[in-house]
Structures are given as C-alpha cells and as structure tokens.
Structure 1
C-alpha cells in the first residue's frame, strides 16, 4: 500500500509485508504519518498526516499493489489546508509581530526556523543564538526573536518595516537535534499599501509620490517595481538606467533629475491605462545592497466611458 503526493510524486507513506517502510518515505513526511496497525484485517487504508500546513495542500493518491506490481485499487483525496491566523498591518509601520508560542520543551539543541511563502529563510535560531548568516538577504537586519525564547517558549517573530511585498504565509518550524519536526505554525500576513492613488485612463500622466529623509549620495540605487516584480524605473550612479526597465514601462516613466539633492523619489507614469492598475514599490538601496527605505503605492486606473449618439434619419 502506497500513499503519494500526486503533484510532486513524493512517497508519503508505504506499508508492505504488513509493516510500515519509513525508509521509503520522502523526508518531509517522515515521523508525520500513520496508518491503522491492523489494516490488513480492517481494510482501513486511511492515512493520518500530522501537523498539516499549507505546503501539504495537494492531491494525494492511495494505491494497493499485488506482488507483481499490478494496481488492485486506487483512490485520490484532495487536501485543503486553511491557515489558522491572519495578521494585518499597514505598509510603513515600524514593525509587525507574527505570533507563535509552543508547549514543547526546548533545550540548547533546539532549532527554530521561520520561512516565507517562497521558502526563503526569514530567521533562524540554533545553538542558543540567532544565525543571521543563514537569513535571506531580503530579511537581514529586519527580524528579531525573544532572546530568552528557550525559557519563555515564545517563538514570535518581529518583522521591521513591513511592505506590500512581505504579504503571504510565514511558517515557523521547531526541530529537535535529530531534525525531527516538533511543531509547525503558520501566520498569514496581509500588508496594506501605504497610499492609494486613483486616475482615469487617458490622462497625460499620474504621479506616484515618494520622498525620503535619508541622505542620498552618488552610490545610492533607487528602484521602482510593480507587484509582479517588473522593474518600472531604476536610478543608479547618478542617472536613470533605462536598459534595466521592463519593456512594458520603457519611455513611460520619469523621475526628478535632482533627486539626490531634493530627496524626491516620486515617479511620473505617462499615459496610464487600466493595465497599469497595480501596487508599486519604491525601494532605496545603499552601495552594500541594504534597504534604506521603502514605500508602497496602490494605483487604480479607471476606464473611460464614451457616449455614442447615432443620428436618426
């Protein structure tokens, strides 16, 4: 008897010759599955999956084979996993707390790992301290956990300067020294754009305003992107970089020529149309690639209505 994850074709659980075969399981399911010990008598081939997360959402197949490898029976089950907790915050707030507490006993060998929806490492704690070198660069210097988490059992994550791009599901996992998952919790973070701008399609241009108090020098990089991660406008080394723009925006954007002096990073988008309705992110980088500032603006472009009058003869 074999349970598989249909999308990735991973072995979830295998039972052969009357006993489980954990060595054949994919490692992400190891220690998390169980079947009826008397399944040969009861005929109950149901699978229990412990600590389900949104990553487990999938189509699963249960197959029964004879000794020749012929399929005697197959059933498929669709698993839908709901994220239990949602946190809302406005972009531009100083920080947001992603709550997570445990009842598990934690010791010096405990490993705590937060990952985002793209499985990037947001924060890692191991061997009694944070492991900043393991973090994805996008989150470096932006996260914090309780220094006494082994005693308090509070594994909550503080995320500084949340932006629209941070939205999504964050997963906290706790591992034992043997890499066994002791606990999993997920939090859905919803980040609202700081500012909303409405304009009618057909207007000459629209201004997406962004100013900074940071001191800007010639090494600074200013980057506007949309929520689909397309580069809208790039400024670096004292001038615009049109070669880095996505073709969709080329020749349609403009920034202040003296932005280093004026600290005005606003973007003018020419000929806005309904397809330009999006969330736009302005990000300022230092020469080392650190994010100095971010701002999000949601642009809504309304379609125009035309009245047509036909003469009656």
Structure 2
C-alpha cells in the first residue's frame, strides 16, 4: 500500500526558472519504508511511529550505518542530544517537541541531496534495552525537467523511434528472405557424426524446414513441419541417420546432424525454410567425406569374424592390386588382383581365414573379413592399392585392431527373481578346439559353479551343478550360457571360460549381475598418464573389523591389494601390480576405498572389483572397467611405432619401414 505526499510550487513558471520541485513519496515494503524525494526540495520527512507507552521516557536515535560517525539525530527525555551528531547533518534535522510523548518519532531532513540517499534507522531504547527499531530507505532523485522541455522532446523521440523501427524491419525482412552464404564441411570417414550448420538469429514460427540433396534429384533427407520431425518423408540411405533439434523454432538452429558419414554422403545439401508458399531462407552446405587415415576396432577373442572396413572411390583400374598387410609380420594378410585372391605371399597365420568382395575394384569396397580373430591378431593392419604397371600407391588405409580376451555382459534382475540366464555364445569352430567349458563365481574366490569337459565318460555329465545348468548341445549350438538358480543379493560377477587341452583360455566372457547395492563404472585413461584412480566411496566411518579387497576377477591371480586389521596388504598381489598401487590408509574414517594405479598401460585393461566384507558377508560391491587408450593427439607415426613395440621386438618388415618413411620422412633426419 502506498501513500504519496505532494508538495509543489503552484506557479509552473517558478518551477521552470528555479528548477525546484518538492515531491516525495513514501511506500511500504517488506524490508521497511522507502521514501523518494527530488533534489532541491525544501525538506523530506522520514516516518517512524511507535506506541506512546514505548517512547515515553525512552531515547530515540536516528542512525545512518554507511557513515563513519553514524549518528544523525538523538532525542532524549530532556530534549535533543546532538553532541555526537555527524557534521553532515548539523542544523538539518528536527523532530517534534512532543515526539516521545505522542510516539511520532519522524525525522525532518532539510535540503536533501544525492549524498543523503541511504538507509536510516530509527531505534527506541530505555535503560539499555532496545524496544523498537525501524529502517527507512531514502532515495534522492534528480529534479524533473520543465514541462515545456517535455513538450518539445517527446515528439522528437517518437519520430526517431518510428524511423528506427522501420529501418530495422526492412533490414530484418531482407536478411530473412536472403540466401545465406554457402559453407563447406570436411570430415574423414569413421566419425560418429557430422554437423551441417544453419543458424538464424530470428525465431521462426509455423515454418517448414526441409533438408535435401541438391546434387541429386528428389532425395529428401529431413523435414520439420508443424512443430515436429516428419520421419515418414525421409528417404533412402538417410533413414534413421539424421537428427535436428526439437526447439529449432525458438533457437533458430536449423543444423542437421548426419550419423556415420560415408564417402557416398559427399555432396551438396540444401536447407530451405518456408511458410506456406513463401520461401523465407535458404542455405547450401557442401559436405566432403574423405577416406579415414586410421581407424580403431575392438573385437572379442575367437568371435565369428571381424570386418576391417575400407570403402574408397569406385571404378579403380581393373589391373590394380590390393594388399592387406600387418605392420609387425612378414608376408601379406590378403592379396587381391583381377577379381581373385592371391595366396603366394600370404602369411601362413591367415590361410583360409580372410575374404574380400570379388567385385571390390569396381565397387570401391576393399573391406577385409577376418574369420575367428585371435589375441595374436591384435595390431596394425595396412591396406594399400598399387597400380600394376609402376607399383604406384593409389590408395592406403591403416586400422588398429584390438582383440580382447573377454567380453562384458550386463544382466539385471528385478526384486523377487530367483534365477537368471548368463549369456555366452562361442563359435562352433572354436569349440572344436576346446577341451572344457566352465563358469565360476568371482565373488567367492572363483568358485566353480558348472563345468563341461570332453574327457568325461558321459557327455552330459558335469553340466548341472547346485541347480545351475548349461546347454546339453553346446558343442553343436555354441550356446555356452549358464542358467543359475538361488540367486542371492550378494552375487555379482560371473566368468565363463572356454579352455583348450593345454589349459589356455580360448575365449572368456564376464557377466555382471546387477542386484541391490552393486555399482558399475567405466574409467578411461590415456597410455602414458602418471596414474589413474578407480573410484569407490561409501559412507564413513567403517567398522574396524571390515575387510576391503581389490581384485581382478578376469585373471587367474585375482587379488591386487587388500585392507584388513587396519593395514594394507599386498602379499598375494598379482606380480605386475607390485609397487604400482595405493589406497587411503585412513579409509575407515574417510570411507574412500578408491584404488590408485600408477603408470597405467594397455595390459592393465580389464575388470577391477572392490568388495567390502564383514566376516564372510559382503556389505558393498563395486566393479570398475579400466580402458587405457592411445593419446588422442599423438602423431600417427608415433601410434604405429607403439603398436609395433607392443607386439614384437623385431624390426618391422622393409615395406613397412618404407611406409613409415613416406608418412613421416622427418623421423629419419638427424
């Protein structure tokens, strides 16, 4: 609620000549009173009213806390006490003579100036006890201009605003209907996605946005209309590969995201914005997709096959020769010429394991299919296309293949489920070499759950243990999955393995059974980093009798480090982790069970598990998957050298040394 107190000079000419207008307003706010007054006013009143029972016989003090000497005015029962008054207010303040008797403690301030703008506090005290306190905020404004000046200025301002509005409107209309400058985007094949940018500063409503290939007739890529994407109007190879922002009408961002760009996606893309029959905006974006210089692949050991992709320009010379080779092995992985495979120089490890499209040179699809990849197949593969006449290199691509000993599966169970199927599929050709298949529970010291062995008298014997079952025809179907029963809330990590007669693991899978209290996290780090932290924090403090163990459930030697009886132990530690691990010595108080691994390297890739025990009971469990990758900004040749050093200590073949010289001739310069 507001009250306005208006004091003004009646003669407008006097107002104009003296530039004085005494106008003050008082408004009530939640934080106190606010008083506004124009500079040049004769005076302003700061209101403060209390009950006479509080003010009678008391002392009223007006303060301004912003000043070094805050006292503005003091009224005692026997009169004003101004000895401690700030010099700024000397002779400018007054209160009514009967203020303490009536309770009206308002303060009159003469000649208010800009510097008086502040918060004033009215405090009532009696015998040292504070009975009442009230804040008043004073704001002194500049005196208003004379009336005749407003009469002159307002029409001029209105005319200027109209002119500016007209100019801005025509500029906006011209910009909106203009064709935006074209743009070129270049990427390499193998990226997850590419962005074709189109942005406008104007918000668009009730518009139709259409992306199409202007270099190909009637190829519609993406349509946005009536506030939603029209997937039914998408065509051809772009089905499910494009995306636009849902809020494009508000943001003006009409960019198109194209997933998995390929060589065939190179071309001119047109974005057209229209409303009804009127075209509002148009932009052309040229996309150039180049061949990938290097690509990384991951595959599980003894999978059915892996495809090493290489798609290049079609209609290569019919007499060209395609050679797939390994950077660390002599001989070729695969050779193709004149529509036929050439095996004269093929490395014996790859005999009958590689395939290429017979029509590869015409289609430009030079991809290589490698059947039943093994751990030894991990490394650098190079595909080179030579001209038959002068052995000139026409095309080249490099791929880094990572073959992992195990794959990780996740199985989630709802509350109340007492059984689950742990998936494990192995190729029949791998099982032909196998002597046994087993499942173990890593949470219980790799306790054997179920085992099948070819050496047993009865082929079906050993496939059922403690109610856990495996497929009776697993050698034929390749289905090595395990059906477990009597699931408990502490079960977590299961490992299925295929063994050969020498006790080597041919293939392995790790299945994480997601149950209450189980955590799973992936940590990525770069090869060469000084350390990596595998995080695990739980509420503290912990009981002194708890035992904490970090293990590698996918290794034969599982224990990495443990904490028991208040000390950290590593007596049973896996050898390669000696001197490379750290834990918080005060973990019982901090609850920080994280493991610090120094000098992480690719051999450390895998699963790490931390369990908190109280006796034989598991209280907390967490699994961390560690991935140690190549430095993303490392030079291409450096990555090749690291791949060679990890796989062999021998010198690379002569043809690969020549390739390295071509890629980075500066390496051989002194």
TM-score (normalised: structure 2): 0.22
Task: Give the structure with higher Rg (CA).
Answer: 2
The structure showing larger relative contact order (alpha-carbon pairs under 8 Å, at least 6 residues apart) is: 1
TM-score (normalised: structure 1): 0.44
Give 1 or 2: higher helix fraction: 2
